[in-house]
Amino acid sequence: MTAHTSATTVDLLDPARIRAHAADGLAALLVDAVDGGASLGFLAPLEPTEAARWWQEAADEAERGVRDVWAAHGPDGEVLGAVTLVRTDKPNGRHRGEIARLIVHRAARGQGLGAALLAAAEAHAAHQGLTLLVLDTQTDSPAERLYRKAGWTPAGTIPDFAADPTGTLRPTTLYYKRLP
């Protein structure tokens, strides 16, 4: 599935393409986001080797059919954003998925890439028969505006849920979205 937004292409990556971009574009994207304050499960400064290792693990999960990865590429092929969709293997949860690690490079924000990545993952999830998506994000983060604008519903906030990249505990808001 490929989508275009201005001069950017958003496409679903197979495991080989995730691995091909893991050590450079995807790792650099993750490092940029964490160093810029995005709460993505890592502390700053994030080492590029640790970021690349995470993407290699994501490729392994994609190979097992657990995680899908989309990347937004600029006109020169540089990775400007990414998002993943994770499915559960539990029999009672096969109808749902989790949007995880929606990332847009700081230099590419404000151009609609986050919305395009999210829309691609949502459309794929619906096409795969998922009827419910969930996600969590740091409360009062810029990402919350994106999710609310895209029709996501807040389900609640948990205080001190996760440390931000500086190590400070922050609240997290859980969201859900029903798919047609």
- pLDDT per residue as tens digits for the range 109-150: 999 999 999 999 999 999 999 999 999 999 999 999 999 999
Question: What would the two tokens of residue 91 be?
Answer: 């029999």
Its pTM stands at 0.94
Tell me the Ramachandran region of residue 145: left when phi exceeds 0, alpha when psi lies from -120 to 50, beta otherwise.
Answer: alpha
- The percentage of the chain sitting over the pLDDT mark of 90, rounded to a whole number, equals 94
28-87, pLDDT tens digit by residue? Answer: 999 999 999 999 999 999 999 999 999 999 999 999 999 999 999 999 999 999 999 999
Question: What average pLDDT does the chain have?
Answer: 95
